[in-house]
């Protein structure tokens, strides 16, 4: 009947991170019956997480309750604090479990049906199978991690200050080891350095000069996803600040208070003592992500394969989406790449004379048509442009050298283009843009269905637009009120001015005015009274 035709579809969102919140804040609750499921009932401003470790900001300042972010009138959208354990794409259901400390008997597990599902569960830290990581290190991924690091740092400083503790024991105790030279590891090192420089002389004068910071990085430079000029500036600044940076090194194992570190060039293994070790390298896979991969026939890898519309591959079109750290738009031929998926249709479209092969003119016409929609086409040209790419493509892919491309040869060309696709970086900026994009697309899709119901065949169907990431720039706080940034257009800057912009950008990125006031208040308190060293 008319009521059923106009009924809201149930949209279930798994997660409460940047991607999920980007969607929640922009979805229209009049169009969807929104249900959010997450084992934590708050959003966490992860880029500012290193500041919690030394008291620059307080934990409560970086969180916002999910319920306060739900759109619409009270009760129009719902939130369940639970972990998703399994997804059945055929029956369109999600199995959930309450893992909290307070559990209702008989209600710990429940099933949620959905019309559309959005997977935005993020990703855990990757240990790469290194022995001892989980037993002897602390991650810096969740708010509990930052609080553990904060308590540990305060504890080791108080213990090192006790009478009877030898200088050697104190220095060993105050050795901080950071594994991973990405933004998280670098900004934690910078925060700790500022605490040592600004607050230790006042709070722990006897320990000045005894604490050391060592950062171990597997690639040949830190911040390796940034512009090389930023990496160089960061390394030079850390050298001036006394932060020891070991590049081309890999941690091969950890024991209580010591790490085995191998030089990748010489294969020599050294032992590094530590009082606290923070592990911040790489991303892994949550069990629910692996479950969805198995349920959709995807190969086992770090993240879910999605298409250009963020739709999870292997399920009914438009029923399951994924975004953020748990999704990967990188598409290799063996895993169902976008161009390979469309190769037969594209071939038929290009074969204008219907002779079953593509000549050079037909291929060039198609590539020109595809260039805007499929950016990976440009990787086939080798810098020569589409018009100059034909000789190169003929030489490489025309196996029988007859001057034409059969469907098999054409598919190999498409696979080569797809293999050059790189993943979007696993950042808050990407996840948030994906969430906002998906909300817009879902709103438009639901609105088009309503128009179709009201107007019938005369209604214009919604034509989805692919997700396009717009890089707005990257920042890294390097300590001493210095930061480095890169902006679109090959603009790179570092220093005090960049730090002022860092403050402005991260203030504006707070998801509520409550968070904005709390974070700004913490920064003000730090500048006036210093950091809080209380161990609670």
* pLDDT per position as a tens digit, 75-122: 899 999 999 999 999 999 999 999 999 988 888 999 999 999 999 999
Shared domain for 18 and 94, answered yes or no, is: yes
Would the pLDDT of 448 be above 70? yes
The pTM (predicted TM-score) of the whole model is 0.82
Q: Please report whether residue 210 resides in a domain.
A: yes
**Residues 448 and 392 reside in one and the same domain:** no
- CATH code for the domain of 452: 3.50.50.60
Domain endpoint, select from 419, 445, 480: 419
The verdict on 364 and 405 lying in the same domain is yes
Domain shared by 161 and 277, yes or no: yes
| The pLDDT of residue 297 is above 80 | yes
pLDDT digits (tens, 9 = 90+) for 196-241: 999 999 999 999 999 999 999 999 999 988 888 899 999 999 999 9
**Looking at the structure, do residues 263 and 140 belong to the same domain, yes or no?**
yes
Distance CA 489, CA 502 (A): 18
CATH number, residue 395: 1.10.238.10
Burial (0-12, 13-18, 19+ Cβ within 10 Å), 25 = middle
Q: Are residues 173 and 239 part of one domain?
A: yes
Both 345 and 233 in a single domain?
A: no
> What domain range is 140 assigned to?
133-282+472-529
Q: Which two tokens stand for residue 138?
A: 């602390």
**What is the pLDDT averaged over residues 54-63?**
97
The verdict on 268 and 170 lying in the same domain is yes
Domain with 489 in it: what CATH number? 3.50.50.100
Helix 513-529 with 496-508: angle, nearest 10 deg: 150
Exposed e or buried b for every residue in 34-49, given b needs 16+ CB within 10 A?
Answer: bbbbbbbebbbbbbbb
What pLDDT, on a 0 to 100 scale, did the predictor assign at position 45?
Answer: 97
Last residue of a domain, one of 434, 458, 482: 458
pLDDT tens digits, residue range 146-179? Answer: 999 999 999 999 999 999 999 999 999 999 999 9
Question: Which range has the worst mean pLDDT, 89-103, 183-197, 372-386?
Answer: 372-386
Whether 409 shows a pLDDT value over 90: the answer reads no
- Specify the long-range contacts of residues 18-21, CB closer than 8 Å, at least 24 apart: 18/46, 18/324, 18/428, 18/431, 18/432, 18/435, 19/120, 19/323, 19/324, 19/431, 19/432, 19/434, 19/435, 20/118, 20/120, 20/324, 20/435, 21/69, 21/432, 21/435, 21/511
Indicate whether 206 belongs to any domain.
Answer: yes
Asked whether residue 384 falls in the same domain as residue 492, the answer is: no
% helix / strand / coil in the chain, to the nearest 5?
40, 20, 40
Q: Domain check: are 214 and 150 in the same one?
A: yes
What pLDDT does 41 receive?
A: 97
Residues 217 and 232 both lie in one domain: yes
* pLDDT value for 333: 33
- Do residues 412 and 431 share a domain? no
What's the rounded Cα separation, in Å, for the pair 338 and 341?
A: 5
Bridge partners, residue 111, by sequence: 95
Contact (Cβ atoms closer than 8 angstroms) between residue 258 and residue 274? yes
Number of structural domains in the chain: 3
- pLDDT tier for residue 336 given thresholds of 50, 70 and 90: very low
């Amino acid at each position: 009947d008319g009521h059923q035709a106009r009924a809201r579809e149930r949209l279930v969102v798994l997660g409460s991170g940047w991607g999920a919140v980007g969607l929640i804040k922009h979805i229209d609750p009049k169009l969807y019956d929104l249900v959010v499921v997450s084992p934590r009932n708050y959003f966490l401003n992860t880029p500012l997480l290193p500041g919690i470790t030394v008291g620059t900001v307080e934990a409560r300042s970086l969180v916002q309750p999910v319920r306060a972010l739900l759109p619409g009138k009270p009760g129009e959208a719902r939130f369940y604090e639970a972990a998703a354990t399994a997804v059945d794409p055929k029956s369109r259901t999600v199995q959930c479990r309450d893992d909290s400390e307070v559990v209702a008997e008989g209600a710990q597990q429940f099933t949620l049906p959905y019309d559309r599902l959005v997977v935005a569960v993020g990703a855990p830290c990757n240990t790469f199978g290194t022995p001892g990581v989980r037993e002897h290190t602390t991650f810096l991924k969740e708010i509990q991690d930052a609080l553990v690091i904060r308590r540990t740092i305060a504890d080791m400083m108080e213990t090192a200050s006790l009478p009877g503790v030898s200088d050697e024991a104190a220095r060993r105790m105050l050795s901080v080891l950071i594994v991973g030279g990405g933004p998280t590891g670098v900004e934690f090192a910078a925060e700790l350095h500022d605490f040592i420089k600004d607050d230790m002389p006042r709070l722990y004068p006897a320990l000045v000069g005894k604490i050391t910071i060592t950062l171990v990085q597997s690639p040949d430079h830190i911040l390796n996803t940034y512009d090389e000029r930023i990496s160089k500036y960061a390394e030079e600044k850390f050298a001036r600040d006394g932060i020891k940076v070991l590049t081309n090194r890999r941690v091969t194992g950890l024991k209580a208070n010591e790490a085995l570190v191998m030089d990748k060039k010489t294969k020599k293994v050294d032992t590094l003592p530590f009082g606290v070790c923070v592990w911040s390298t790489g991303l892994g896979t949550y069990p629910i992500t692996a479950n969805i991969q198995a349920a959709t026939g995807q190969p086992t890898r770090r993240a879910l394969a999605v298409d250009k519309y963020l739709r999870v591959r292997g399920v009914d079109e438009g029923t399951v989406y994924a975004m953020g750290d748990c999704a990967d738009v990188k598409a290799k031929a063996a895993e169902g790449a976008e161009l390979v998926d469309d190769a037969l249709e594209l071939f038929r479209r290009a074969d204008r004379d219907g002779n079953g092969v593509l000549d050079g003119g037909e291929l060039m016409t198609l590539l020109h048509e595809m260039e805007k929609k499929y950016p990976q086409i440009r990787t086939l040209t080798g810098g020569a442009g589409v018009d100059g790419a034909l000789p190169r493509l003929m030489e490489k892919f025309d196996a029988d050298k007859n001057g034409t491309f059969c469907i098999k040869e054409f598919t190999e060309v498409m696979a080569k283009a797809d293999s050059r696709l790189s993943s979007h970086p696993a950042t808050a900026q990407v996840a948030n843009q994906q969430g906002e994009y998906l909300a817009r697309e879902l709103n438009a899709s639901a609105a088009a269905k309503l128009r179709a119901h009201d107007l019938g065949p005369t209604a214009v169907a919604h034509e989805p637009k692919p997700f396009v990431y717009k890089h707005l720039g990257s920042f890294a706080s390097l300590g001493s009120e210095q930061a480095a940034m890169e902006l679109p257009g090959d603009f790179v800057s570092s220093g005090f001015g960049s730090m002022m912009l860092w403050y402005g950008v991260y203030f504006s990125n707070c998801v509520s005015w409550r968070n904005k006031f709390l974070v700004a208040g913490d920064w003000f308190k730090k500048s006036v009274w210093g950091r809080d060293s209380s161990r609670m």
